[in-house]
Amino acid sequence: MEVGGLVTANPVWVGSSELTMTLDGITACVDAGAGAVVAKSVNESVAARLQLDIADYAFVSGAGEVRPPGSGLPGDGLLNRSGLAQVELDDWLAVLADGVSYGAARGCPVVGSITLGDPAAAARIARAMTEVVPAVELNIGAPHGREARAVRQLTEVDGVAAAVRVVREAVDVPLFVKLPGQASDVVALARAARSAGADAVGLVGRYPGFLPDLDGGAVLGSWGAWSSPGCLPMSLYWVSKAFSALDAPLIGTNGARTVDDVLRFLASGARAVEVVTALWIGGPPVLRELVDGVSGVSEDFVGSALAGAREYADVPPLPSPAWLPYTARWRSSGR
């Protein structure tokens, strides 16, 4: 299959995270059958690297219980703080080169990733990355941008277009742009990224989150980034809307834990799906289950759910009020 100029063996990709911050992590994902692996993000900021020193993670059950470290379950949400890879660019390029070589021999491209700080600096890093990677992801949807000045989260059309254009001019490999989910019009951001030269668009980044600890204070002691199975419909909303409005390859992310989740992303219009939290819970072997589960999916399946989706104005009235089963217990007898 092909996504924005990058040929991959399957649509199950590994997204950028601490799991892809080392060569061992990258190669483990390759060996587990990933269609592509996105390496941990970098940028020019020393502060963004230092931010990794305060990284923390809390898996939260549906009942709001914070799990002990290392005991997250597939239905849990994840609240976390994070930072960028603590490595100099030349050293990171060497890691990427080894990862790319390992993946290429096994049919799995390894993608470089940059979390936006300064657009000109991102362009310089991207240009250097193109010496070793087959594609570059520009992440302008990182929720940590709201909590620290080391990275930026762009939610306005002009800012997205300007940043993408600067990086596009610096690279001659496929450029994927990952967008935030909490903008007023994510489709407009996707259109701007595409018009400025993005070969594919990633939808959507995780959401800002906050969870009080009822014993006092806040979980993690701060705000953070939130992902959970409950985010899936919100992510699929923007994927499906972008698929309907744009002629652009889409990469889905935020909410895929199971085979059915991946299939729902594909049916909503994504050509590939990045998974991260599922691997934090089950490790790289989870990938094999996901890959096997989508192995029979055809090109026609991508976006197929849109055939049955209508605008509100086009939905005919229902034969009886749909709220009645939910309000029956509150109605007086005889009324």
Residue 207: how many other CB atoms lie within 10 Å = 17
What values do phi and psi take at 206, rounded to 5?
Answer: -70, 165
Q: Mind listing the pLDDT tens digit for each residue in 246-301?
A: 999 999 999 999 999 999 999 999 999 999 999 999 998 999 999 999 999 999 99
pLDDT tens profile 219-243: 999 999 999 999 999 999 999 999 9
Tens of pLDDT along 86-144? 889 999 999 999 999 999 999 999 999 999 888 999 999 999 999 999 999 999 977 65
Using an 8 Å Cβ cutoff, are 73 and 61 in contact? Answer: yes
Q: Is the pLDDT of residue 152 over 80?
A: no
* 330 assigned to some structural domain: no
- The pLDDT score that the predictor gives to residue 149 is 54
Domain annotation covers residue 305:
yes
CATH number for the domain harbouring residue 192? 3.20.20.70
Q: Determine the pLDDT at residue 174.
A: 99
The number of folded domains in the chain is: 1
Residue 190 lies in a domain: yes
Residue range of the domain that includes 32: 2-310
Helix (H) or strand (E) holding 295: none
Which DSSP symbol is given to 115? E
Residue 102 lies in a domain: yes
Q: What's the pLDDT at 255?
A: 95
Closest CA to 228 of 241, 243, 242, 209: 209
The per-residue pLDDT for 86 is 86
Q: Is residue 320 part of a domain?
A: no
332 compared with 212, residue with greater pLDDT: 212
Taking the C-alpha atoms of residue 49 and residue 163, their distance in angstroms, rounded to an integer, is: 21
pLDDT tens per residue, range 57-93: 999 999 999 999 999 999 999 999 988 888 899 999 9
The model's pTM is 0.93
Does residue 203 form part of some domain? yes
Q: Is residue 317 part of a domain?
A: no
Q: Please say if the pLDDT value at position 146 is more than 60.
A: no
Q: Which residue, among 20, 12, 19, 80, has the nearest Cα to 227 in the 3D structure?
A: 80
In a domain, 129, yes or no: yes
Rg (CA), the chain: 20
Helix, strand, coil share of the chain (percent; to 5) = 40, 15, 40
